[in-house]
Amino acid sequence: MKKNVTGHTDKHLKRQAKKIKKEQNITHTQALEIAASEAGFTNFKNFQNSLKKNSFSKKGKESAGQTSHEISRPSFSKMLDPYRNLLVAGVNHLLQTKLITLEDSSSHGKRDNEGHVFTEIFGFPSVVRWRDAGFGELEISVWWKYDHSRHPHAELEGNSRENFNTTTPLARKELYKNFVGVTVSGWLERKEGKHIMGKDREKLVGIYTRKGEKAALDRMPSQLPLGFEAQGKFYI
């Protein structure tokens, strides 16, 4: 039986996912993502990759005379504010899919196009949107656990239709609970540094949390920013 670096087996994690699926009435794929996150991994794919890596590492170290219990184990600490952590996950996705860069485009006399993308964050359907705020800054928003089919403005016409141009959804706030779990926005600085501005929850805006979602967000694994800092100076 394969065992990963944190001591969880593949079979154990899948048993946990089965339990989570039943408790939360979600899909098996979503349950696997949550089980992997609770085990300290970014997602289920990250868990599977760790099994392969640890297998190679174990063979190499044992061939050099080391036993399996001598293999170093990484620590997964939750140091970021959960809402800032969600923003980091969103920025990472935009960078990985090359929808934005960390380059200060204003120095070349041009500005990034604004846009949005439907994706999965921590295994759940989400929207990540970005908008050029000038001075090399990008406004980033993440709408987590987002169900567009239940958005009351999804199929409307003209300015009443959801166009993802604002930090929060285009609907009355009391209706948010029907189609989104968490929303948060912040600013990605790229000119004077590479960081999401502010510290902890400071300078984060547009925060909405559906009942019960804060506990779920708290369980999500701390994200490693890809080439930028999760916190930094706020520029007016």
* Structural domain harbouring 172: 82-218
Express each pLDDT in 77-119 by its tens digit: 447 899 999 999 999 999 999 999 998 766 555 555 789 999 9
- Give yes or no: residues 152 and 114 share one domain: yes
Q: Looking at 38-42, 95-99, 183-187, 204-208, which range is the least confident one?
A: 38-42
Task: Give pTM, 2 decimals.
Answer: 0.69
Beta bridge partners of 102: none
Query: Is the pLDDT reported for residue 2 higher than 60?
Result: no
Polymer length of the chain: 236
Domain contains 90: yes
- Give yes or no: residues 107 and 196 share one domain: yes
Say how many CA atoms lie within 13 Å of 77 toward its Cβ. 3
Choose among 143, 24, 43: nearest CA to 96: 43
pLDDT of residue 47: 81
- Locate all alpha helices (DSSP H) within the chain, ordered by sequence: 10-24, 28-38, 44-63, 82-96, 213-218
Express each pLDDT in 56-75 by its tens digit: 544 454 444 443 333 333 33
- Give yes or no: residues 90 and 49 share one domain: no
pLDDT of residue 80: 87
- Give yes or no: residues 176 and 206 share one domain: yes
Binned at pLDDT 50, 70 and 90, residue 55 comes out as low
Express each pLDDT in 190-203 by its tens digit: 998 999 999 999 99
Q: Would you state the structure tokens that stand for residue 230, as one six-digit string?
A: 């999760």
Number of domains in the chain: 2
- Give yes or no: residues 147 and 207 share one domain: yes
Domain contains 182: yes
Distance CA 78, CA 69 (A): 25
Distance CA 49, CA 73 (A): 15
Domain contains 72: no
pLDDT of residue 16: 83
Choose among 195, 179, 181, 192: nearest CA to 228: 195
Express each pLDDT in 134-179 by its tens digit: 888 999 999 999 999 999 999 899 989 999 999 999 999 999 999 9
Domain contains 59: yes
